[in-house]
Structure 1
């Protein structure tokens, strides 16, 4: 009876819209109407939590009440409050504080279907990004037999403000991490509802890039996320450096930064803080990152793995061989100023660390700065994460993306190479979104990477028929999958430089790696 009523309602709802109707889905809150486009069912703008407005600002996400009838899921919701874009070349999204929605791309379902699920956590430095960015659309992956869910989460100060007054309101005496709470709420929604879309709640993979990958590392040690996913993918991001170098992640310090930030905005009480216009709480600020709060994130990802308090699930992680080219302008780098400039940016560095990146000529100095930034921001974190995780029961699959896309001269992407962001056109199999002169090698790599990612979501192992073998990572100098033309297996890139970073970080911690 419900199906007949739902189909009749959908026919009225979508009449004249020119859409093919997706199979209706009944969530715990009510029915949703999607669209069928190019053989994929798409549901946009499904709420997974109440709008975090007014008294709900800086509070945990609250459940959505049930609705009557059929809710249209044909339009993307606004992105969470932010300034700018998370990726050069993308259009700035429409934004709102009312932003806690998710989107689903699913193969047409049939009785008894239970397909693997990838839940995508977007990047953007915790200050911008969108669940609806075209590059993240899951249509191409869905055609390969997986459901793709893209989720929003609160950003900037709205997502990560820690403040003593907010901690006093909390039964856990903590604050911050509202963005992580949103991610957990979305994963809880997936557990309750994804079967209605043909997904398997016991085969959920969390996946993210950049800040999204850092969030994955946090979720892997959050007790609140236990049981909400069975595999994890992290691309170019993790939180593993010594906390001595990032003291702002500790709750007391984050609260102090939050007080200073609110005082600068003229708000000293929770009521005054919640009355601030949302637009004043966007952009980069000192409280735009997760906090080790004793509750959502009781300890750092590094310490969680060392103490055996991580969720032991199959892991696929890696980074790109030229990460920094998309992030750092090195045109003014000169050999005679290299050490002074890098010290001005990062403070006094050990001689061994500077010596690991030869900079005798201007050309060397430019390459050295790019290599240093690559390894500092991404390379060491992913190598450390792989080493920590491979000591568990579940396998780790470690990659290095080394392919140079055909970014055209004169474009915003010119000169990027295998940079930060570059792998995403391939793993989402979205070469068709960019009007560049893609080569046969690009199409072959996109087909293989999307197959690897889908296969991993399905089984916890990226290997499959027709794909170059990808061995599990074993040991500090284990083999990584070199994603390029051709795909092959090789040693960890820049291993000597990573080992120097490792020695420096061990000295900062006061112990050797893993002790």
Structure 2
């Protein structure tokens, strides 16, 4: 009997650290229990906010209320409503009850104070999911967190009736408010998982990278992270009433009109009627121009370029970069006539200069030209502007890369031998994609890139471990890490194109 009691007591003492893993802990809402996976504690579906359903649809997220008993975080939350994909189960695995995050931790105790990496997924603010783990980081003593947020019309539709409901008089940006609430939850609770709230690095790619850029300039995130990684994303466009081929950030008023137009297209009389529609009626619109972050004066206070000029941003260490063939995923060949017509419509008096930089004499060349314009105008220039503005007006370090490694280990191979959108991710995060084929050189690149990202998460500096030295960015100096068949420092790539977009966007800035 005494032996049984002793074993019971020992079991209670060890509960929450089975086999050295922190499988049970307590957060603000109550006790929570995870599972063991690949040798680490994994908490799959932690609700950080109340479900944004019913009257909470199109409202700022509300903090999750305390729960009774032990919350079992052993199942992934459903994906947020988005355009259905039959290969992913149609709409069966979607729900508006989607505000979850996951925590994967190598911590042995709550007192370990490990660095924390927070991933914000991409997907054009229309698609994507937080589901997944990051073993390569966790194996190296980092707590990994991934965050879900509302997408598409449910996450970014602006509407005048919604502005009237808001205490701040704002509308849109609900997905960003979700991200901010998640970061606040992480700050308040990550110590329960052995993480250090003062050592949080946020990261994202594409729309996730744009989110990171916005969060770096938002006053609502002050003190919630100490470093940021931005892959293929930024938000430094001027403010205008139309986004127009990724050439501007929309005003809230213009976005409200788009919301009214969307309502009319669904034949809904008012906001009340919109709230009664099933979510699959709201996910049919797939144009990126419709549902996007807007300048609302609250989450996004102004033209971000101006904010950085004025020093009004979160001055944290940043690792950022773009890929050599980013735009190929978003473009298709067209006739030369149609190509030039589109350029003149979007760039007006600047069109002739642009056409000289991106010439095309046949359909194949129009594909390459459009791809490069998309690469530079949507990704590369914003990263370039960010690096210049922060190094000129801030104190924190900036590290810039240019990824140019074509590989079969990517979602979409480049037809020109460059690196398409998303191509850097398997290398930075240590996994395989597609058929998983990697040359010996690519395996070496992956090992080094992953170490850079891990080192940066731990210290704000990618260097160490006898890696090729990465100098912090300095304008007009060869301080960009060029990644192609190896690593070397070089100048900003496509400088004439960067100069064009710098002048073009300056002319549009009010």
Could you tell me the TM-score, scaled by structure 1's length?
A: 0.88
Deviation at 1:358, TM superposition (A): 3.5
The structure-2 alpha-carbon separation of the partners of 1:177 and 1:6, relative to structure 1 and needing over 3 Å to count, comes to farther
Q: Distance in 2 between matches of 1:38 and 1:382?
A: 36
SS of 2:217's equivalent in the other structure is coil
Q: Distance in 1 between matches of 2:21 and 2:256?
A: 49
Q: Does 1:398 align with 2:397?
A: no
Does the CA contact (< 8 Å) of 2:17 and 2:108 recur in 1? no
- Superposition pairs of residues 304-323 of structure 1, within 5 angstroms: 304-323=307-326
In structure 2, the residue matched to 1:494 is 494
SS of 2:473's equivalent in the other structure is coil
Q: Distance in 1 between matches of 2:189 and 2:335?
A: 52
Does the CA contact (< 8 Å) of 1:121 and 1:150 recur in 2? yes
**What does the per-residue CA deviation read over 1:370-426, in whole Å, with 9 as the maximum and x for residues that have no partner?**
222211221111111111111211111011011111259xx9657484110111111
SS of 2:262's equivalent in the other structure is helix
What 5-or-longer segments of structure 1 have no aligned partner? 12-18, 511-515
Q: Distance in 2 between matches of 1:148 and 1:202?
A: 15
Does the CA contact (< 8 Å) of 1:34 and 1:43 recur in 2? yes
Q: Does 1:203 align with 2:204?
A: no
What 5-or-longer segments of structure 2 have no aligned partner? 1-7
**What does the per-residue CA deviation read over 1:262-301, in whole Å, with 9 as the maximum and x for residues that have no partner?**
1222334332221121111114255411111111221132
Deviation at 1:139, TM superposition (A): 1.6
In structure 1, the residue matched to 2:108 is 109
| 88-97 vs 376-385, greater mean Cα deviation | 88-97
The structure-2 alpha-carbon separation of the partners of 1:509 and 1:346, relative to structure 1 and needing over 3 Å to count, comes to closer
In structure 2, the residue matched to 1:297 is 300
The structure-2 alpha-carbon separation of the partners of 1:9 and 1:471, relative to structure 1 and needing over 3 Å to count, comes to closer
Deviation at 1:112, TM superposition (A): 2.7
Q: Does 1:126 align with 2:125?
A: yes
Deviation at 1:140, TM superposition (A): 1.7
Give the number of aligned pairs.
Answer: 493
**What does the per-residue CA deviation read over 1:126-152, in whole Å, with 9 as the maximum and x for residues that have no partner?**
1111001x4xx2122111221111100
Does the CA contact (< 8 Å) of 2:251 and 2:296 recur in 1? yes
In structure 1, the residue matched to 2:5 is none
Does the CA contact (< 8 Å) of 1:122 and 1:129 recur in 2? yes
In structure 1, the residue matched to 2:162 is 166
Q: Does 1:212 align with 2:213?
A: no
- Superposition pairs of residues 53-92 of structure 1, within 5 angstroms: 53-84=53-84
The structure-2 alpha-carbon separation of the partners of 1:264 and 1:509, relative to structure 1 and needing over 3 Å to count, comes to same
| 91-100 vs 62-71, greater mean Cα deviation | 91-100
The structure-2 alpha-carbon separation of the partners of 1:267 and 1:474, relative to structure 1 and needing over 3 Å to count, comes to same
Root-mean-square deviation (CA, aligned residues, Å) is 2.8
Deviation at 1:363, TM superposition (A): 5.8
Q: Distance in 1 between matches of 2:450 and 2:439?
A: 17
Does the CA contact (< 8 Å) of 2:476 and 2:491 recur in 1? no
In structure 1, the residue matched to 2:421 is 420
* Misfit runs of 4+, over 6 Å: 6-11, 88-93, 344-348
Does the CA contact (< 8 Å) of 2:322 and 2:379 recur in 1? yes
- Superposition pairs of residues 374-453 of structure 1, within 5 angstroms: 374-391=375-392, 392-406=394-408, 413=413, 415=415, 417-431=418-432, 433-453=433-453
Deviation at 1:310, TM superposition (A): 0.6
Deviation at 1:507, TM superposition (A): 2.2
In structure 2, the residue matched to 1:513 is none
The structure-2 alpha-carbon separation of the partners of 1:54 and 1:90, relative to structure 1 and needing over 3 Å to count, comes to closer
Q: Distance in 2 between matches of 1:164 and 1:439?
A: 54
In structure 2, the residue matched to 1:326 is 329
SS of 1:350's equivalent in the other structure is helix
Could you tell me the TM-score, scaled by structure 2's length?
A: 0.89
SS of 2:169's equivalent in the other structure is coil
In structure 1, the residue matched to 2:41 is 41
Q: Distance in 1 between matches of 2:146 and 2:506?
A: 37
